[in-house]
Amino acid sequence: MEESRQKLIGENGLRIDGRKPDELRPIRMEVGLLANADGSAYIEQGKSKIIVAVYGPREVHPKHLGLSDRAIVRCRYHMAPFSTQERKSPAPSRREIELSKIIREAFEPVIFSEYYPRSMIDIFIEVLQSDGGTRCAGITAASLALADAGIPLRDLVASCAVGKVEGCLIVDLNDEEDKEGEADMPVAYIPALDTVSLLQMDGQLTEEEFVEALKMAKEACMRIYQMQKQALKQKYVEAKEAVEEQE
C-alpha cells in the first residue's frame, strides 16, 4: 500500500500542486477589515485562510498586572472548529497554547512596548481554514494588523516554513507535504534587523541542509515582506482616494 502513495516530488522536479521547490503558494493579503478592532488583517496562503485582530494599547485590567516599564503583549492563536477536515474542539489545545506563546515571542523584538507602560496589546489570530503553514501565515498577518493598529514597530515580521520532502528542500509546505515530509522548519524574519525571531524544527536536517534551508527561508520571507508592504500601502491609497472623492 505504501508504494502506491502519490509521490510528493515528481520526476520533473515539481511538487504535487505544480510548484517549484522554492515557489510560494498564491498569497492574498488585506488590511483593515474589522471596524471594531484597532487593527486587523486577513491572509490567504494557498488554501489556508486566517484573520487577525489587534486591540490596544489599552489599560491593563486588573491594574496590578501592569508593568511599569513596558506594555504587556498577549497573543491567542486559535483554530476554528470548522478549519480542519474533522471538526476540532473549540477548546484551546496544547498546540494552540504553545503556538500562542512562540508567536508572541516572535514579536517581542519589533514592538516598541516601552512606549506604553502599564498597558496591554492583544493579538487574536483565528484560523478559518487550515492547509499547512498556519503559524507562519498567522505571524505575517499579525504583523500587518499591528501596523494597522498604529503600534510603533521596528519593522514588519515576515514568516515562512522550509521543509524536506523526499530528500528535496522546499518552501511554504502545504498540509500534505507537512504531514508526509521528513522535516519542517518554520522561520520568522525581521528584515530591517536581519534577525530571525522564530526558528523551530520538526524532523532532521544535515548541517548543510540546515544552512541552505535557512537561506531559502530568508529569501521566501523577503518576498512575503514585499507583499506585506504593498498590502499596507494599498489600504492607505484606497483611504486617500475615498477622502478625495468626498471632497
Query: What confidence score (pLDDT) does residue 1 get?
Result: 37
- Residue 14 CB contacts under 8 Å (≥ 6 apart), including other chains: 20
Query: What confidence score (pLDDT) does residue 85 get?
Result: 81
Residues paired with residue 196 on neighbouring β-strands, in sequence order: 189
Label residues 190-228 b or e (16+ Cβ within 10 Å = b). Answer: bbeeeebbbeebeeebeeebbeebbebbbebbebbbebb
Q: Report pLDDT digits (tens) over 61-92.
A: 888 888 999 999 999 999 999 998 888 888 88
**Alpha-carbon dihedral 4, 7, 11, 12, rounded to 10 degrees:** 140
Query: What confidence score (pLDDT) does residue 5 get?
Result: 56
Query: What confidence score (pLDDT) does residue 196 get?
Result: 97
Domains of the chain plus CATH, in order, are 24-246 (3.30.230.70)
For residue 191, is it left (φ>0), alpha (ψ between -120 and 50) or beta? alpha
- Residue 71 CB contacts under 8 Å (≥ 6 apart), including other chains: 56, 57, 111, 113, 114, 115, 116, 117, 118, 119, 120, 121
Query: What confidence score (pLDDT) does residue 62 get?
Result: 83
Query: What confidence score (pLDDT) does residue 3 get?
Result: 44
Query: What confidence score (pLDDT) does residue 235 get?
Result: 86
Residues paired with residue 51 on neighbouring β-strands, in sequence order: 42, 126
SS3 content of the chain, % helix, strand, coil (to 5): 35, 30, 35
Residue whose C-alpha is closest to residue 155's, from 208, 86, 78, 232: 232
Taking 50 as the pLDDT cut, the residues of the chain under it are: 1-4
Query: What confidence score (pLDDT) does residue 64 get?
Result: 85
Angle at 234 between CA 228 and CA 235, to 5 degrees: 100
